[in-house]
Structure 1
């Protein structure tokens, strides 16, 4: 990533009206992939997104993408002139227009100089061809949101902003739309800033993360790096997890299993639609990792990895627990174990142990 090929966001002491809240950030966001803005409610995620979009005005701001300035102390492009697609929590479709007509409205506004993604590709990725003749009132919540995402893409933006696009959906609809979001995130060359307070969504979609608290950046970096580091917001999260990327090298139709190879080790997962040679990501939660000083061949746990204890820290909120950072090659894995077990096993940094992984979740 060159210095010019980034989204620069500098906002100084932006105060919301009738509120004590202020936003003060200085960010260089990659201009490729998905960057997640993560944090608790009221941390400033949506406000930051609205500032980038030009929906909130602040003279003490500087915004630019690849050296194209949208906001300085001298200029401020209005929202409709910024090359941005915006997906809100609610689909906000025009109710008197069909889905197809909503998309045509976006195409009329499209930047003709941009050829990032074609109409046919958007229709295919979002799988919406059959629902194009219908009106918003005839669509499910998931279908409306897929049309809203398609509309944002068809503007041909240089940047796509997504403000908790799954927040208004129930769990079944979230599961329905997540694969479409993944398809967009992985297929589109448009940089995406994705706001969420769901760690599941962030782990599944984001390449880069920015953590906000009270309008300030407290952590930022590559998703896999931040998740595997101790003493961070994520290692203290109740669902502390890491993400592992590997290649499918073996499959067994007899047992319905696939072998994911990474860093000279293998993790066995339930077989799905993946094929040998496919690259997949999986999530391992710290609560699903136990430790042993020697291989337990008489155990029902299939996944046992040889790891080195790289770091360990007591849980500041629960002194009965210890979080350990383990290295399988160069890949970090977190384990949350009791302080008593740490003492009884005499665990220490640099020690080689066996990580027994009770459960993994493929991020398909």
Structure 2
């Protein structure tokens, strides 16, 4: 059993009433700012006491209002990675890491210090102090310190929010490694569709203190009727396998038998990956286009069209590679005669898929 949350709490004008199960893997609390993501994670951490409810981690009761149970923070056996790394400035990197070890219970599932150093690529940083580290390096140390504490669960509250795009791209693979190579479940707060697409095993989407959607990243992000962080974040996730690396700087993938060409990936041939394709980067054609510079053409059938209040619409297309979302104008949809059941082709430029949109499956 991973994490079980059932809480009710009033904070200002917002009444939180939510219940969800977070299995092993990485569960993302997703939604725009102010929906209650940090409130929920702080309740799990013990930094906030809900009015009523229960919180269970690994069959261990952390909070039960009816039974009067509310374990203090230091007894919950959780690791917390904040937006800012919160390292001890007077200690070296190695000493910061060992600080986590000092608080690991004897019966904790331990990951060795050498393994953490290798996993996070921080061997050359051990003797340095935090003041001289980049933001990405500091977050890697914070992740390692949390893991070395032997936690039952790792909490990460928008750990990439304070980083620039380059540092975010640096850190994302380490969270993938943490998700895939350790047995410690992770509860991760984010409002970034890119992070959700790359990392999430399970998504719990919040709106106004309530659960709006729950499911896999592909199911939640590919729902054309659900755009909690705005239509510009709408997109779909394809599962694909790398089949070749070409000499012209492109990698070839297969998604449901459909070839996809992306800027060269660092992963080996045969690797399973997730590919996020933003809806705004997809062009639709009623017939298979010819003479285009775009290399990725996916045939399919329109499943649904969701028109917004403005000039735009989100079109959901079922293809052999998986569901694709396209953001078009309502005028274009009308002119093309688009409707449910219409055969169509999705066109995706190779260079529109950024490196951070491709992650391990």
Aligned to 2:203: 209
Q: 2:320 matched to 1:329?
A: yes
In the alignment, which of 279, 299, 307 is matched to residue 292 of structure 2?
299
Cα distance between partner residues in 1 of 2:289 and 2:10: 58
Q: Deviations over 1:341-360 (max 9, x none)?
A: 22222222112211111233
Look up the match of 1:341: 332
CA-CA distance at 1:65 after TM superposition: 2.5
Structure 1 pair 332–104 and aligned structure 2 pair: CA distance change class (3 A): same
User: Which residue of the partner structure matches residue 44 of structure 2?
Assistant: 52
**Within 2, Cα distance between the matches of 1:125 and 1:88?**
20
The SS at the match of 1:93 is coil
Instruction: Output the aligned Cα RMSD.
Output: 1.9
SS of structure 2 residue aligned to 1:287: helix
Distance 1:38 1:288 in 2: 22
Distance in 1, matches of 2:26 and 2:132, equals 31
For residues 176 and 340 of structure 1, the distance between their equivalents in structure 2, rounded to whole angstroms, comes to 40
TM-score norm. by structure 1 comes to 0.91
For 2:183, which of 183, 189, 193 is the aligned residue? 189
Matches within 5 A, 1:129-208: 129-208=123-202
Q: 1:88 to 1:290 in 2, by over 3 A?
A: same
Distance 2:18 2:174 in 1: 31
TM-score scaled by length of structure 2: 0.92
User: Gaps spanning 5+ residues in structure 1: where?
Assistant: none
Deviations 1:247-290 (A, max 9, x none): 1123322x222221121212111223232211122111111111
Give the aligned partner of residue 279 of structure 1. 272
CA distance in 1, matches of 2:249, 2:286: 30
Runs of 4+ in 1 over 4 A off after TM superposition: none
How many angstroms does 1:234 deviate by?
4.9
Partner of 1:354: 345
Q: Deviations over 1:183-207 (max 9, x none)?
A: 2223222111111122222222212
Q: Distance in 2 between matches of 1:158 and 1:138?
A: 31
How many residues in Structure 1 have an aligned counterpart in Structure 2? 353
Q: Secondary structure at the match of 1:325?
A: strand
Residues 1:15 and 2:4 are matched in the alignment: no
Other structure's SS at 2:136 match: helix
Deviates more, 1:165-174 or 1:276-285: 165-174
Counterpart CA distance in 2 for 1:352 and 1:70 is 53
* Whole-Å separation in 1 of the counterparts to 2:249 and 2:133: 36
Change beyond 3 A, Cα 1:170–1:356: closer
CA contact (8 A) 2:31 2:229 kept: no
> In the alignment, which residue of structure 2 is the partner of 1:95?
89
Give 5+ residue unaligned stretches, structure 2. Answer: none
Cα distance in 2 for residues equivalent to 1:59 and 1:355: 49
What is residue 70 of structure 1 aligned with on the other side? 62
Q: Describe the shift of the 1:6–1:185 C-alpha distance in structure 2 as closer, same or farther (beyond 3 A).
A: closer
Instruction: Give the drift of 1:306.
Output: 1.0
Contact 2:242 2:273 in 1 (8 A): yes
Structure-2 change in CA distance of 1:134 and 1:273 (3 Å): same
The correspondence for 1:230, drawn from 219, 224, 227, is 224
